[in-house]
Amino acid sequence: EAEVAQSPRYKITEKSQAVAFWCDPISGHATLYWYRQILGQGPELLVQFQDESVVDDSQLPKDRFSAERLKGVDSTLKIQPAELGDSAMYLCASRWGALDTQYFGPGTRLTVL
Amino acid sequence: KNEVEQSPQNLTAQEGEFITINCSYSVGISALHWLQQHPGGGIVSLFMLSSGKKKHGRLIATINIQEKHSSLHITASHPRDSAVYICAVHTGNQFYFGTGTSLTVIP
């Protein structure tokens, strides 16, 4: 069964360093989401792509976060510089269309020291 | 103010018990999702529904659009059902997530 792939699964970094996460959605899924989930809370949308275009990045802290999906397939989320408060699980999800459910990747657990 | 509210926040049950988790929302939706998140962090979509009721194995999800309320039921609960259950709604433009219900089923 097709799955959303994410890497790395775990990342430990020091504050002020740069980190990058990668997501490969299920083939054919046009919509891709990046979420941040702080322990004990529900996921918070950071950015939504439709193909290669950003649909919603209103909650993305643009001074330090950036996301791209250049060819409309896989996507990269970058944080530079990382701060202590960025420690969280970063989840990627994709869906084929508006009537489809979201499929989540396993997530990247980020710890900033 | 949270667009999606879940109750209870935490739930402990004995194996075999019937479990109900509730979700209320305040926005107009095109669909409601029930998600399951295990301690490792991975999220699995259990149901997507926009009306009525859906059943999959021991899991049943219902939604009342007029009352803006949904319930997730687990019959004959089992320790492997222990997880966080998250309610999410899609408005047609974006998703809103509840904070989750942490379920522990004791053998």
Identify whether the C-beta of residue B31 lies closer than 8 Å to the C-beta of residue B23: no
Report the distance separating Cα A19 and Cα A27, nearest Å.
25
Residues of A in contact with B89 (CB under 8 A): none
Give the pairing of strands A10-13 and A108-112: parallel
Identify whether the C-beta of residue A101 lies closer than 8 Å to the C-beta of residue B45: yes
- pLDDT, residue B40, reads 74
- Chain B residues within 8 angstroms (CB to CB) of chain A: 4, 30-31, 33, 35, 40-45, 48, 86, 88, 92-95, 97-100
pLDDT above 70 coverage of chain B, percent: 99
In degrees and rounded to multiples of 5, residue B92 shows phi and psi of 105, -25
Distance from CA of A21 to the nearest CA of B (A): 16
Q: What is the DSSP letter of B80?
A: G
Q: Which of B30, B42, B95 sits opposite A106 (nearest CB)?
A: B42
Q: How many CB atoms lie within 10 A of CB B45?
A: 18
**pLDDT above 70: residue B1:** no
CA B61 to chain CA mean position, Å: 8
Q: What is the DSSP letter of A62?
A: T
Cβ density class B12-28: b for 16+ within 10 Å, e for less: ebeeeeebebebbbeee
How many pairs of residues across A and B have Cβ atoms under 8 Å apart? 51
Give the pairing of strands A44-50 and A53-56: antiparallel
Tokens 């802290």 belong to which residue?
A: A61
Residues of B in contact with A101 (CB under 8 A): 33, 45, 48
Report the distance separating Cα A111 and Cα B4, nearest Å.
28
Residues of B in contact with A33 (CB under 8 A): 95
In degrees and rounded to multiples of 5, residue A86 shows phi and psi of -80, -10
Q: Which residues contact A58 (CB under 8 A, 6 or more apart)?
A: none
**pLDDT above 80: residue A97:** no
- pLDDT, residue A42, reads 86
Mean pLDDT of A67-74: 92
Task: For B32-81, write each residue's pLDDT tens digit.
Answer: 999 999 877 788 889 999 999 999 999 999 999 999 999 999 999 999 99
CA A56 to chain CA mean position, Å: 13
